[in-house]
Amino acid sequence: MTGVAEHLFDHVRTVLAAPLTERIAFIRAPRWIGTDAALAVHRRLQELLERPTMLRTEGLMLVGPYANGKTMIAERFVLQHIGSLSERRAWIVQTREGTGLAHFYASVIAGLGAPASGLRSVSRLAEQVGRLAQGVAASRF
């Protein structure tokens, strides 16, 4: 396959000769592209996880264009660091750009595993998120 696969990494080139099922499994397997930015986010997440419990909590919001790796970064961190802990200390909440505060708050509520309230008022949703956050914080003390 000289010339055809020169642009591929050596470990990927070897997959080309594998049976179809193995090639498909390789394509579908999760990948981690450890860019400097992704590694920096992982370091920051680790710092937040190791931070002593305080009244004023900190969080991290990953913001960026669609399909640029935000979810992959968060999921990898959860798989590496959170899954081994006996108490849950991190949540992944996904929302879409441009959907407004009501959708954002509803996404946070769903991400924390709370039942949907059916509220449409942004202020009422914000109150619910605040109560849920207080409950999460209280469970850490």
Q: Domain end: 59, 74, 92, which one?
A: 92
Average pLDDT over residues 25-46: 87
With the CA atoms of 108, 74, 96 and 55 taken in that order, what torsion angle do they form, in degrees rounded to the nearest 10? 30
- pLDDT score of 115 more than 90: no
Considering the domain architecture, whether residues 36 and 87 belong to the same structural domain is answered as yes
Domain extent, residue 20, equals 1-30
Considering the domain architecture, whether residues 58 and 36 belong to the same structural domain is answered as yes
pLDDT computed for residue 22 by the predictor? 94
Helices (H), the chain: 10-13, 20-28, 36-50, 70-77, 100-111, 122-139
Top-confidence residue, 133 or 22: 22
Q: Is residue 23 a contact partner of residue 16, using CB atoms and an 8 Å limit?
A: yes
Q: Which of 3-17, 33-47, 104-118, 123-137 has the highest mean pLDDT?
A: 33-47
Q: How does residue 20 score in pLDDT terms, banded at 50, 70 and 90? A: very high
Considering the domain architecture, whether residues 105 and 131 belong to the same structural domain is answered as yes
Q: Is residue 90 a contact partner of residue 82, using CB atoms and an 8 Å limit?
A: yes
Count the domains in the chain. Answer: 3
- pLDDT score of 91 more than 80: no
